Amino acid sequence: MTRVRFYHNTENPHALACELVERACGSGRKVVLHMPDAASAERFDHMLWSFDPLAFVPHVMAGSPLAAQTPVIIARNPGEALPDHDDLLFNLGPTPPPDLERYRLLVEIVGLGEDERQAARQRWMHYKSCGYSIQAFDSQRREAI
């Protein structure tokens, strides 16, 4: 069953996502990033190329002919990802992603805004009601809550 990790109190959710994706990719994991819309997917694509001048995170958009050879896929619908990309899913949208049960680990990153916190509470309650195992971390202190 999918495990869920929430990273709370995140000043810049996309920057933390870049850092965590880089670590996951560096350890050989395959990652799918769920984005709420095409514009945010494009912004995150550019951010992955530029967030750290010394980092290289090979990634493509879902549907790319290079997706099978690329460890990180950016998708508006995680179901678009290839079957072998079922290890780690980052949800960067406001609602639970579709097809999350196919992934071993779902990562949720929660910003500091009240709207983000409210949406995260709803997602937490949804995952809990579905029986998922949930862990919480404080991203500023870098420790489990």
Burial of 3 from C-beta contacts in 10 A (0-12 / 13-18 / 19+): middle
Give pLDDT, residue 114. Answer: 96
Give pLDDT, residue 37. Answer: 92
Strand arrangement of the beta sheet that strand 72-75 belongs to = 59-61, 72-75, 31-34, 88-91, 105-111, 3-10, 133-138, 143-144
pLDDT in tens, 101-130: 999 999 999 999 999 999 999 999 999 999
Give pLDDT, residue 130. Answer: 96
Give pLDDT, residue 77. Answer: 80
Give pLDDT, residue 9. Answer: 95
Return mean pLDDT, the chain.
Answer: 93
For each of the domains in the chain, give its residue range(s) and CATH number, in order of start. 3-144 (3.40.50.10110)
Question: With bands split at pLDDT 50, 70 and 90, how would you rate the model's confidence at 99?
Answer: confident
Q: What mean pLDDT is predicted for residues 1-5?
A: 95
Give pLDDT, residue 143. Answer: 81
The strand ranges marked E within 43-95 are 59-61, 72-75, 88-91
